[in-house]
C-alpha cells in the first residue's frame, strides 16, 4: 500500500513542520501542505495547523511508493517516458489505491520526480514524466504553450471513411440529472476544442475502424467526445455512446464485464497514446509507443462478432 502510517518520536517540543523538514527531508511548503491535509496525528487525531508544536510520540501518513517492475520506454537526464498499461491510474484516487504510475515513477527516480500530464485510467500509452522540479515546470509550460504533438490510436464503431477535423467546443456537464457524471459534452458555451481524425484500417467483419487522432487542444475526454459527436464512438467506451442507465451502472461499478462487452464492444476503452513529438532544451524528440495497439485492440474484440 503506497500510503503508510508510521510512528515517530519528537525528543523535544518543536513545530511540527520543522520536524518533518529535518527528519524526513521535506521542503517547508511540502511539510505544511501535508500537515494541512491531516497527515500528522497526535493521539489518533489529525493536526492541521502547521504551526502546531509536537512532542513525544505521533503518527504520520505518507506516500511510500512501490514498484511492479514497469520499465520506462524512454529516458533522458531530465525526463522519462512510460508506456502505461490500460487499467493503471496516473495518480492514486485515495489513500487505499494499491498502485498507480506515480508509484513507479517515484520509486525509480525519487521524490522530486512527477508526472507532467494525464491520460485516462483505461487509456494505454505514453506518459511524459519529469525527473525534477525544474524539468516539471518546463514540461508543463510546454504543454501550456501547446508545443507538444500527441497522436492517439482508437478503434471505433462503424466505417470511418474520410479524414476529418472536428472543431466542437466542450463543456463539463452541470445539469441536475444523473448524466451530470458523464462529465463532458459538446456545447457552444464550452471551450474551443480541435481534433484531427484520419482512418487507418477498416475491419469489415467487425464493422470497426482503426483511427489516428491528433488533438490540437487538451480538453478532458476530448477524443472520446469528438468521436462520439461524429457518430463513431470508441469501442469499449462505457460512457459516450451508452444509455444513461448503463452509464450510471458503470459509474456505480454495477456493470459487469460481460454486459460492458455486449453494450460497448470491449471490456476496456480502446484508446492508446501512440506517440509524442516535442522540443525540449534545444533538442527535438519523437517518441513512439512499443505496444502493438492494433493487435491488442483486435484481441480485445475477437469474441464479440
Catalytic residues: 120
113-151 exposure pattern, b = at least 16 Cβ within 10 A, e = fewer: bbbbbebbbbbbbbbbbbbbeebbebbeebeeeeebebb
| DSSP secondary structure letter of residue 211 | E
Q: Report how far Cα 2 is from the mean position of its chain's Cα atoms.
A: 17
**Alpha carbons 239 and 223: distance in angstroms, whole number:** 13
**Alpha carbons 215 and 181: distance in angstroms, whole number:** 23
Q: Report how far Cα 275 is from the mean position of its chain's Cα atoms.
A: 16
Q: Please name which of 182, 183, 166 lies closest in space to residue 230, comparing C-alpha atoms.
A: 166
Instruction: Give burial (CB, 10 Å; 0-12/13-18/19+) of 15.
Output: middle
Compute CA distances 192 → 49, 166, 170, 217, whole Å: 41, 11, 7, 8
Please tell me whether residue 294 adopts helix, strand or coil conformation.
Answer: helix
**Alpha carbons 136 and 113: distance in angstroms, whole number:** 8
**Alpha carbons 202 and 219: distance in angstroms, whole number:** 27
**Alpha carbons 41 and 47: distance in angstroms, whole number:** 6
Amino acid at each position: 500500500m503506497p500510503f503508510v502510517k508510521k510512528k515517530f518520536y519528537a525528543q523535544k517540543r518543536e513545530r511540527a513542520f520543522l520536524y518533518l523538514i529535518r527528519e524526513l527531508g521535506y521542503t517547508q511548503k511540502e511539510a505544511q501542505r501535508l500537515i494541512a491535509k491531516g497527515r500528522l496525528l497526535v493521539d489518533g487525531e489529525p493536526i492541521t495547523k502547521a504551526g502546531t508544536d509536537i512532542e513525544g510520540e505521533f503518527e504520520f501518513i505518507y506516500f511510500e511508493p512501490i514498484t511492479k517492475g514497469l520499465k520506462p520506454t524512454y529516458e533522458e537526464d531530465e525526463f522519462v517516458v512510460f508506456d502505461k498499461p490500460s487499467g493503471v491510474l496516473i495518480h492514486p484516487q485515495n489513500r487505499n489505491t494499491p498502485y498507480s504510475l506515480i508509484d513507479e515513477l517515484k520509486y525509480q527516480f525519487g521524490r522530486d520526480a512527477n508526472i507532467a500530464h494525464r491520460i485516462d485510467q483505461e487509456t494505454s500509452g505514453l506518459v511524459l514524466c519529469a525527473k525534477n522540479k525544474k524539468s516539471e515546470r518546463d514540461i508543463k509550460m510546454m504543454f501550456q504553450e501547446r508545443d507538444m504533438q500527441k497522436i492517439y490510436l482508437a478503434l471505433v464503431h462503424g466505417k470511418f471513411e474520410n479524414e476529418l477535423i472536428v472543431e466542437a467546443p466542450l463543456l463539463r456537464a452541470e445539469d441536475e440529472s444523473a448524466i451530470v457524471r458523464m462529465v463532458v459534452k459538446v456545447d457552444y458555451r464550452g471551450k474551443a476544442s480541435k481534433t484531427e481524425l484520419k482512418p487507418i484500417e477498416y475491419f469489415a467483419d467487425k464493422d470497426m475502424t482503426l483511427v489516428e487522432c491528433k488533438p490540437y487542444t487538451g480538453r478532458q475526454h476530448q477524443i472520446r467526445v469528438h468521436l462520439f459527436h461524429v457518430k463513431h464512438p470508441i469501442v469499449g467506451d462505457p460512457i459516450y455512446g451508452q444509455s444513461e442507465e448503463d452509464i450510471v451502472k458503470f459509474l456505480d461499478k454495477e456493470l459487469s464485464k460481460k454486459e460492458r462487452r455486449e453494450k460497448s464492444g470491449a471490456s476496456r476503452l480502446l484508446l492508446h497514446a501512440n506517440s509524442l513529438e516535442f522540443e525540449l532544451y534545444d533538442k527535438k524528440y519523437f517518441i513512439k509507443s512499443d505496444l502493438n495497439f492494433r493487435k491488442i485492440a483486435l484481441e480485445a474484440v475477437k469474441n464479440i462478432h
